[in-house]
Amino acid sequence: MKTIRIAALDIANRHPLGLKCQTDSTYARFATELAELLAKQNIQGFEGRNVKELAIVLTMYYEDVLSDLGMWYSFTERMHQLYGRYLPFFDVDEKQYYRDEPNNVDIRFLIWLFISRTEPGYIVSPDTLAVEYASEVVGELMDRKFEEMPVNEELKEYFAHPAFENVFTMQRDAQKWFFFTNYLTCNEHAIDITMQQGMRFSRNMNCPPQLALRVSECVAVYENKLQPLALRPNEWLGMLLDYNGAKEEAARVKEQEYLPFDFYKIVEAEHGKGFTLETLEGKKFHVTDEDMGMPSDDCYSSKTVLSFFVKYGDRYYLGTESSWAPDTKAFDEERKSREAQRNQSKDERENLIADNGGSPLFYFANADKMKSFLKDTVKMPAQRVETLQLPKEQNITFTLFVRERDLNICFYPEVAKFIKDDKNPYYDAEFAKTNTFAQLFGMDGDMVRYLVGNDMLPEATINCEGGEEAGKKIVHDNFDFLSRMMQGNLY
């Protein structure tokens, strides 16, 4: 068996901004021992897993709990607020559940979460015996080492007295931790997401790839909801600061307002007075020279800026590097396009649900029939309909959903087969038994909640040790949590 070695730097890299601490070497030795222990178990169902990565994740949980950092506490506290229980799936005796100590049930959940993240399209049942056995092995080692492991006082101080208080860019960068490396909330596709988006920004902003990647990283902080509760990085950071007593900074972080990466018209600009900007929706706000990053002289004669802004406290800040234009052409074209879309939605779609007997769901035998509906009934421009990338096979059904809150239309192939609805002639109970759970969470969150609220997914289940009915119960009892976990930004 190949020897697994975990270095102190591997531990430091999992801290906010890669903060190096005196305890890193001790936790690295523990993580190495844990990785070797896990590898020796040869537990069925864990073949090919990244044992080193799992050992680091569990070690960071261990450091969190032993050092009273509050990450795990914040998660279980929000779980309790949402669902009246500290963890999904597992029955926890709250009188015997000590939140300041490692618990086997916590470890069991983290192993389940790790597998769910690292296996694309695959969700293991939380009652899998291999997961339960692995949690017992890990828990025994944590109990044995409990008294000799140090408290990370440096990291505790980092959250109790944040150096980024009142400094927008420092707290923005602190939020990256949750997206990239936090053991509980990181997005396993974070690097791919930012690289792909960075390439688009490089083209759109005509800037070097490295600069565009930095822009992408900053945008990602504000535009992504993170597992396992579909909360944004500022919400996670706010909870953590709150737990550590930094109440004022926690409130400021939680309440910040994000104005998305977009075109902004420069209404007025003057050295010493800053910039008055206007959003595509017509909202005006002011940014000082300092909070705009002390831009160069030619920016004051520009008419449009492409970037994002954040209201942090009582001031607006430029979110990241930006692209400036000498005219408002791009801004005006984008505004006109969006207004046309809004008007079309209001004028042509507001009666769709009423005309369909109050249901926002429509079913079609194939792509051609749905395209005809989009052109003839929804009044979507024919040219736009024809550019839709749809499967051409005649036997593929389509389901269309009209979202009431904004009248946007969503449509999906083959999901009609697992939706039990009197209006749906394509429901297939046998197909639904094996496909509902796998396909369900790729849909719009409002659609999923509508289907669940109207009991249209009777066969939603997960393969588990207890059989089909037990699988249905796991899904039913934890449906909102699973939606948050699986859907992320779609939730």
pTM of the model: 0.88
Neighbours of 176 (CB within 10 A): 19
Residues found in the chain: 491
Residue 370's Cβ-count burial label (10 Å; 0-12, 13-18, 19+) is: buried
At residue 46 the predicted structure's pLDDT band, cuts being 50, 70 and 90, is low
* In the predicted structure, residue 48 carries a pLDDT above the cut 60: no
- What is the share, in percent, of the chain residues with pLDDT greater than 90? 56
- What is the share, in percent, of the chain residues with pLDDT greater than 70? 95
Q: Peptide bond preceding 228: is omega within 30 degrees of 0, i.e. cis?
A: yes
Query: What are the counts of helices (DSSP H) followed by strands (DSSP E) for the chain?
Result: 20, 9
* In the predicted structure, residue 236 carries a pLDDT above the cut 60: yes
Which one is predicted more confidently, 394 or 251?
Answer: 251
CA atoms within 13 A on the CB side of 114: 25
Residue 133's Cβ-count burial label (10 Å; 0-12, 13-18, 19+) is: middle
Torsion sign, CA atoms 170, 172, 176, 182: positive
Which range, of 39-43, 218-222, 401-405, averages the lowest pLDDT?
39-43
CA distance 175 to 185: 11
At residue 206 the predicted structure's pLDDT band, cuts being 50, 70 and 90, is confident
Please spell the DSSP secondary structure of 26-65, one letter per residue. HHHHHHHHHHHHHHHH--TT-TT--HHHHHHHHHHHHHHH
Tell me if 318 sits within 8 A of 309, measured CB to CB.
yes
pLDDT, mean of residues 434-455: 86
* In the predicted structure, residue 267 carries a pLDDT above the cut 90: yes
CA distance 431 to 443: 18
Phi-psi region of 255 (alpha: psi -120 to 50; beta: other; left: phi over 0): alpha
Phi-psi region of 316 (alpha: psi -120 to 50; beta: other; left: phi over 0): beta
pLDDT value, residue 155: 94
* In the predicted structure, residue 334 carries a pLDDT above the cut 60: yes
> What residue ranges of the chain are covered by domains with CATH 2.40.50?
256-329
Backbone angles phi, psi at 407, to 5 degrees: 65, 15
Which one is predicted more confidently, 152 or 205?
Answer: 152
Three-class secondary structure of residue 74 per DSSP: helix
CA distance 164 to 386: 51
What tens digit of pLDDT does each residue of 308-327 get?
999 999 999 999 988 899 99
Backbone angles phi, psi at 184, to 5 degrees: -100, -35
Query: 253 is written with which tokens?
Result: 């972080």
CA distance 24 to 63: 10
What tens digit of pLDDT does each residue of 64-104 get?
999 999 999 999 999 999 999 999 998 888 888 888 899 99
Please spell the DSSP secondary structure of 265-303, one letter per residue. EEEEEETTTEEEEE-TTS-EEEE-TTTTT---GGGGG-S
3.90.550, 2.40.50, 2.40.128, 2.30.30: CATH of 256-329: 2.40.50
pLDDT value, residue 464: 83
* In the predicted structure, residue 342 carries a pLDDT above the cut 70: no
Neighbours of 246 (CB within 10 A): 19
